[in-house]
Amino acid sequence: MAVMMSAQDLAFGYGGKAIGQGVDISVNSGEVMCLMGPNGCGKTTLFRTLLGLLPPLGGRLEMRGRPVQAYTRAEFARHVAYVPQAGSSYFPFTVLNVVMMARASRIGTFATPSAHDRELSFAALDRLGLSHLAERSFNEISGGERQMTLIARALVQEAELIVMDEPTASLDFGNQARVLDCINELRGSGLSIVLSTHDPGHAFACADRAVLMKQGRVVADGSPSEAVTPESLHGLYGVEVAVEFMQGAGRSICAPALGRFRQE
Ligand SMILES: Nc1ncnc2c1ncn2[C@@H]1O[C@H](COP(=O)(O)OP(=O)(O)OP(=O)(O)O)[C@@H](O)[C@H]1O
């Protein structure tokens, strides 16, 4: 399998101060990697570095065998798309226009989108079941719809790798499932995806690889069943966690064992 992005002995952080170091990870073509770790362990800082927004403080970071810093922003955007957390929105644009804006990396920032760009944007919305929202204001749709719109936006960028920062954060149960389903569908189409999550069960739901990070260092990296275990999760979060296969869901799920269970 071709390596899409790789980091070797990567150190990353802000203003010369390392938040993480000694990170060796690689994302293969068509692979979904799920990154997890406690608050403040450095997930977002690592993502900013992978996205070329922060310069590496040490080590090597390559996209398709070429240092990330050697790419121009426009060139890089043709390979890598970013899905930020939807949060609150201040985009006074229609959903279709928010998606279409991502075509800028293909057509030039100041070029006018063509009928083809419009068609592609509409098709991406349709693929995620959002076409009925195309003319609605991005400010006036729900958080889940916004998150899915941002995924559609990443798709029209036609990148090979999509980096998603906690794509299920603040989504209700149904929308979390829709986003995970959507990631699974994209995974089948050959795209590489790196996502972060606070629910280790998401690794079983949609990932080929799980990477566990603590205090800026990778402490486990493997298939979800190798890397996500009661022991590794206890080491990561300091709580007892049950990791069990659930027949009805067709995959393993993770649930913290609360006080009542600990005493049994
Ligand atoms: N702009 C910044 N300048 C300096 N330090 C920062 C900056 N942003 C974050 N940090 C620090 O870097 C560390 C890692 O933060 P980061 O946001 O990468 O963690 P995270 O794993 O994404 O956390 P969370 O799960 O809470 O989102 C934290 O100690 C944080 O205080």
**Which domain CATH number covers 210?**
3.40.50.300
Residues spanned by the domain of 239: 3-262
pLDDT of residue 172: 85
DSSP strand pairing (66-67 vs 241-246): unpaired
Q: Residue 138 C-alpha to ligand 1 middle, in angstroms?
A: 28
Structure tokens that stand for 163 in this block: 């980096």
Tell me the residue length of the chain: 264
> What confidence tier does 185 reach under pLDDT thresholds 50, 70, 90?
confident
Q: How far is the CA of 93 from the centre of ligand 1 (A)?
A: 30
Distance of CA 50 to CAs 3, 69, 81, Å?
Answer: 14, 10, 11
Q: What is the pTM of this model?
A: 0.91
Cβ atoms 45, 23 nearer than 8 A: no
Total structural domains in the chain?
1
Task: Report the complex ipTM.
Answer: 0.98
CA distance 242 to 255: 5
Report how far apart, in Å, the C-alpha atoms of 177 and of each of 55, 61, 129, 180, 206 are: 34, 32, 14, 5, 10
Confidence of residue 234 (pLDDT cuts 50, 70, 90): very high
The residue contributing the CA closest to ligand 1 atom 28 is: 40
From 12, 44, 213, mutation site for ligand 1 pocket: most ligand atoms within 8 A of C-beta = 44
> Residue 253 forms beta bridges with which residues?
244
Ligand 1 in contact with 199 (CB < 6 A)? no
Strand partners, 3: 28
Mean of the per-residue pLDDT values for the chain? 90
- Supply 78's token pair: 């043709």
